[in-house]
Chains A and B, each alone.
Chain A
Amino acid sequence: MSNWPNTADVVVIGGGVAGLSTAMQLAMRDCRVVVLERQQLGNGSSGRAAGLLGQLRGTAESTRMLMDGVNIVRELEGQAGVEIFVQTGSLRIADTLARAQEIKDLVEMGKSIGFEIDHMAIDDVARSLPYMKTDGLVDACYCPTDGHLQPAELVAAYLHVGRERGVHCESQCPVEEILVADNRVGGVKTQRGTIAAPVVVNAAGPWSYLVAGLTQTPLQTAALGHVYLTTRPDPERPIDPRSPAIRDRQLRLYARPETGGLIVGMYAEETTLFDMQSLPSGFDMSAMKVRRDDLQVARLIDAVHQRYPWIDERTPMTMTTGIMTFTPDGKPLCGKLPDIDGLFYCSGFCGHGIVQSPTIGVIMADLILAGQTDYDIGAIEADRFWDLPGFQERDRIGRLCDQMHASYYGKIEGQQGAQTG
């Protein structure tokens, strides 16, 4: 191939939002970056995401990262000429006293760090969301600056700005080998040729543990199935495209408007653990389908029906199913591991890759070029499981990630679930 890049400053493996954001930020700092994608750019988890942006997270630092991300997105919108961030506001609703306590704590925490959040009266919730059942709600809180990022537009913007700065992308180009000599990365080998590079970033999402396997490195990620529905627009039941996103932890649901219809998804207690190795080599996540008798779908519809009684098995809707990358503690793995110099990881976003990607790109570029970042990344550092016993075997990593997924929206009252967006 004539324009095959034989060398690069950085090779990024994976053309999803994590890899493309990292590539764009590196290119903005004058790095020559090549992105290698096994299939089509933005066609993996990034292309299946709902993109909900809830900025208030369990810690002040993770909230700061998401708020900074919004500013990056605003700049990108100007540069790429697309609307990425749709600011609809977001609501958390509680129908039990334990969930109401969570909301109370959240409002206090948010206010303490200057985040715009307040309780909302149930009558106001009912007025703002006439298509949602509000009987039995005991409390709700509203964050006016939340909303969602449009995943396809975000991918397009990263590419547009990245390309202007010289990012080179190769699609349909799986990496076969990571070249290592004397514990230093030397580049990658693909069917189209090799690229010599002192830095390689593993941003391969659900495939990232297989890519890590190329250097015999155990990576604490697992690939978990996820599904959400999108109702078809119905003139009888208009869904205001600017109505707020919903999080209902009791039913484990999230929802947001989507072009006249409604997206509703669920972090279910049980999900499918994928063995990425056993998928066909040409596996296309964007073409994944659910069976008509899929249990996960049935559970989703069952829960959705409780909150939106007009949605049932026969409602005209599409099911979107894909694969998420989970970690044992619900936080991504970003940075270096002690074994190989120049090999970086950027994976495990646990269903929140779209919204974390803008700031993660900055953090990765900081780490790669300066070896440090202004952000406190203690919670997301890639090496936090490195020598922990019990975090090295695939089976056990899979089980831990699965448990994390099950507690993501925290079901059992009184028990602390993960604090998620």
Chain B
Amino acid sequence: MKILVPCKRVPDADQKIEVHPDGSAIISAHLPFLLNPFDAIAVEEAVRIREQRDGETEILAVTIGEEVCQDELRTALAMGADRALLVVCLQPPDPWNVARILRAVTQREQPDLVLMGKQAVDDDSNQVGQFLAALLDWPQATFASRLNFVDNGLRVARETDAGLETVTVSLPAVVTTDLRLNEPRYASLTSILKARKQSIDQFCLADLAVELEPRLEIRHLETTASARSCQWVTSAAELVDRLRRETH
């Protein structure tokens, strides 16, 4: 069993994100960056699958971006990924092109399963898993909250608005992970130190014979969050009164 886990470096979305005055990009200097939480869930699930299968599983973490994205690949390695691969790409590709790059990686690596976050918390696109399955003509199971291997593939409980839907997909397949699938572990001291020394394979787009075909252009970013303020009330009655008077 070989599992490919795409990983994305994202800013910590719980911090206040500021945008350049010209609206071209977020101000990323001094922002803390993390492995996309949904991708961390995917890495954790891959490691658990390997543990269940007595180690007969190879986990490959892949990311697309600048050199600095190696930090998040090392997070994946420290959590238990066996190998890591960086596709160097200086311009952030849109979801369609991320899926095209991942298709090239998938064709090269021939995994049995692509396990990835349902979306990245920076742009919340929620498109790449679906695009990738379509490009590969593989079955897909999105928003997974439980995975079980069965004879003819993988049984996946999906989170939908109405409740849980259980589907079975044959392998190879693309599965995207939802929040409740698992709780990712923290890396141990020894695995962090080991991950720091591990070599990370690098490819450029030409190595993968991919040319970007942008379909999406970001025209303008702006923040809508206004300054929240906190006021204390002394009784429930005062709260009700103020809500009546001060809200529209």
Contacts and interface: CB of A to CB of B under 8 A. Distances in A.
Contacts of B185: 292, 313-314
A65 interface: no
Contact of A313 (B75, B188, B195): B188
Q: Which of A281, A293, A295, A299 counts the most chain B CB atoms within 10 A?
A: A293
Contacts of A281: 18
Contact of B12 (A41, A287, A298, A299): A287
B169 interface: no
Interface string A142-181: 0000000000000010011001000000011000000000
A283 B195 contact: no
Contacts, number: 81
Nearest to B195: A293
A156 B232 CA distance: 9
A278 B191 CA distance: 30
B56 interface: no
Contacts of A319: 186
A282 interface: yes
Q: Which of B186, B227, B230 counts the most chain A CB atoms within 10 A?
A: B186
Contacts of B183: 316
A288 B74 CA distance: 20
Interface string B217-233: 00000000001111010
Interface in B26-80: 27, 30-32, 34-35, 40, 74-75, 78-79
Given A171-B229, A282-B16, A289 B34 contact: yes
B75 A293 contact: yes
A159 B192 contact: no
Interface size bucket, B side? 20 to 34
A40 interface: yes
A281 B30 CA distance: 10
Interface residues of A, number: 33
A284 interface: yes
Contacts of A316: 183
B162 interface: no
A316 B184 CA distance: 9
A279 to B, nearest CB: 6
Given A292-B78, A292-B187, A159 B232 contact: yes
A77 interface: no
B75 A282 contact: no
A280 B14 CA distance: 13
B152 interface: no
Interface in B222-248: 227-230, 232, 234
A291 B232 CA distance: 34
B125 to A, nearest CB: 22
A40 B232 CA distance: 12
Given A163-B232, A289-B14, A295 B189 contact: yes
A291 B229 contact: no
A263 interface: no
A298 B75 contact: no
B30 A279 contact: yes
Given A156-B232, A293-B192, 4 more contacts: A292-B35, A292-B184, A292-B185, A316-B183
Interface of B: 12, 14-16, 18, 27, 30-32, 34-35, 40, 74-75, 78-79, 183-189, 191-192, 195, 227-230, 232, 234
The 4 A-B pairs at the shortest CB distance, nearest first, are namely: A282-B16, A287-B14, A293-B78, A293-B187
17 contacts: A40-B230, A160-B232, A172-B227, A278-B30, A280-B15, A280-B16, A280-B18, A280-B27, A284-B15, A287-B15, A289-B34, A292-B40, A292-B79, A292-B186, A293-B192, A299-B189, A301-B186
